[in-house]
């Protein structure tokens, strides 16, 4: 890697459960690749019952993963991480994606 490592925050559908979606496998590969290049990656996943019951990778061994239960909790716990990030990505099908995207842009 050349240059300083980036602080990356990804808000996506799921990384801890690949049950019923293809998002987790793609996010896992992306986070693993970014982390292996020295970047600090935080993946934020909405904790929902259908994925909670089927977690096949509850604690990915690369990057950092955190769960949140509501938009209010997301704002309260992760505003600093979003504000300080070099890159923030809001993925497709992220729960309340429009509201999350607007919050990211305003943070």
Whole-prediction pTM: 0.95
pLDDT in tens, 69-86: 999 999 999 999 999 999
Domain spans of the chain, in order of start: 7-106
pLDDT at 19 over 90: yes
Tokens of 93: 């099908």
Strand partners for 65: 43
Q: Looking at residue 1, what is its pLDDT?
A: 62
Q: Residue 14: exposed, middle, or buried by beta-carbon count in 10 A (0-12, 13-18, 19+)?
A: buried
7-106: CATH topology: Rossmann fold (3.40.50)
Mean pLDDT of 46-59: 96
pLDDT at 63 over 90: yes
Inter-residue contact 8 to 89 (CB < 8 Å): yes
């Amino acid at each position: 890697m050349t240059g300083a490592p980036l602080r990356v925050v990804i808000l996506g559908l799921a990384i801890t459960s690949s049950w019923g979606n293809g998002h987790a496998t793609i996010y896992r590969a992306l986070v693993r690749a970014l982390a292996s290049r020295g970047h600090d990656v935080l993946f934020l996943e909405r904790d929902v019952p259908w994925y909670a019951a089927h977690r096949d990778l509850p604690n990915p061994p690369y990057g950092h993963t955190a769960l949140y239960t509501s938009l209010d909790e997301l704002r309260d716990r992760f505003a600093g991480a979003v504000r300080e990030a070099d890159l923030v990505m809001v993925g497709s099908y992220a729960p309340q994606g429009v509201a999350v995207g607007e919050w990211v842009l305003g943070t």
